Amino acid sequence: MKTINLTTQRQAVYDVVREAEDHPTAADVMNRLVERGHSFAYGTVYNSLRYLTDKEMIRELKLGETASRYDARTDDHQHIVCEVCGKVGEVMTPMPEEWLAKVAEETGYEVHEAHIVVEGVCAECRSKRKR
Amino acid sequence: MKTINLTTQRQAVYDVVREAEDHPTAADVMNRLVERGHSFAYGTVYNSLRYLTDKEMIRELKLGETASRYDARTDDHQHIVCEVCGKVGEVMTPMPEEWLAKVAEETGYEVHEAHIVVEGVCAECRSKRKR
DNA sequence: TTTCAATTTAGAATAAGTATAAATCTATTT
DNA sequence: AAATAGATTTATACTTATTCTAAATTGAAA
């Protein structure tokens, strides 16, 4: 089933995520939809986010906060979160294949993928702190 | 402040986590306490888990499920989750330092740590599937 | 234009965890 | 031992994020 049915609502949700500079939560998406003059049901936004995630048009990120975030970049990459301001950055440096191979060997699992959340302090917060 | 005040409740919660073979959620801990004849308030279990986590006697794991899990192993390690049965295994193979260094360079963040959740299929589920 | 499935809506329900205020426990001082 | 103070526990209310439900709407196909 590769058919993708983009209703008005789904398209609008997709646009918000695609045009976001950050990694918005469902609530963020909701707010931005309202700013754009939409008023969809709360459930519809969640449904749309799930639909788009299923179709792999966006990715759902679970970064250890209470709410999921969404990302329109679907290529393989990881994330880094600033412990001070919460800003989320993309990590494109690929995880070495041999680490995954070793993990497979160690655990006996067939390894599919790794979700990595790096924690640290962003440059901005670092310079503020030094003061 | 290194003083650790282990009340009856905290000790009992700690015992449950320490003696667990798996990675129990707060609800799991609650049930096991009841099995052992305790009946603590729900909030106390959460408080105790947080206290023990703060004192670094246990670790809180956020593996992308809705509920946190707890682990009495506090040494540096990662986790692997079976996509089929949900079983959580320990990953002791250390993350290559140079990957973290590259991430720091790429992002401009001061990198503190990485939480990794590997997904795959455990040996048991794999052999069942082959049938 | 009738029909059927898919979708949206509004609102209720759920799950995990936090907050609160009163009660209880613990240690120390009198 | 009685009094005090601080920490902890309890019961319960609340919050937040998300899912579920049933009715209404939409849209494509016959």
Confidence of residue A2 (pLDDT cuts 50, 70, 90): low
Spacing of A47 CA from D23 C1' in Å: 18
B1: its two tokens: 């402040």
pLDDT tens profile A6-24: 999 999 999 999 999 999 9
Compare CB distances from B95 to A99, A109, A115 and report the shortest one's residue.
Answer: A99
Q: What is the pLDDT of residue B53?
A: 97
Nucleotides of C under 7 A from a protein CB: 6-12, 15-20, 26
Closest CA to A16 of A42, A65, A55, A49: A49
- d(CA B82, CA B102) in angstroms, rounded, equals 29
Q: What is the pLDDT of residue A131?
A: 63
Question: Residues A45-52: what's their mean pLDDT?
Answer: 98
Q: Which residue is nearest to nucleotide D9 (CA to C1')?
A: B44
Domains identified in chain A and CATH numbers: 8-71 (1.10.10.10), 78-130 (3.30.1490.190)
Closest CA to B12 of B69, B30, B22: B30
Partnered with residue B119 across adjacent β-strands are A113, B81
Closest CA to A74 of A93, A86, A61: A61
pLDDT tens profile B40-92: 999 999 999 999 999 999 999 999 999 999 999 999 999 999 999 999 999 99
Q: What is the pLDDT of residue A129?
A: 78
pLDDT tens profile A98-120: 999 999 999 999 999 999 999 99
Residues making up chain A, counted from first to last: 131
Confidence of residue A34 (pLDDT cuts 50, 70, 90): very high
**What is the residue whose two structure tokens read 């509920």?**
B67
When mean pLDDT is compared across A34-43, A58-67, B120-129, the lowest value belongs to B120-129
Nucleotide at minimal C1' distance from the A7 CA: C7
> In whole angstroms, how far apart are CA B84 and each of A56, A100, B79, B123, B124?
20, 19, 15, 11, 10
Please, which residues 18-77 of chain A have a Cβ atom closer than 8 Å to chain B?
62, 64
Q: What is the pLDDT of residue B128?
A: 86
Nucleotide at minimal C1' distance from the B44 CA: D9
Closest CA to A25 of A63, A57, A51: A63
Which secondary structure element, helix H or strand E, spans residue A125, and what is its range? helix A123-130
Q: What is the pLDDT of residue B131?
A: 63
pLDDT at A4 over 80: yes
A109: its two tokens: 């699992």
In this prediction, what percent of chain A has a pLDDT beyond 70? 97
B99 contact residues in A (CB cutoff 8 A): 93, 95-96, 99
Looking at every residue in chain A, the average pLDDT score rounds to 95
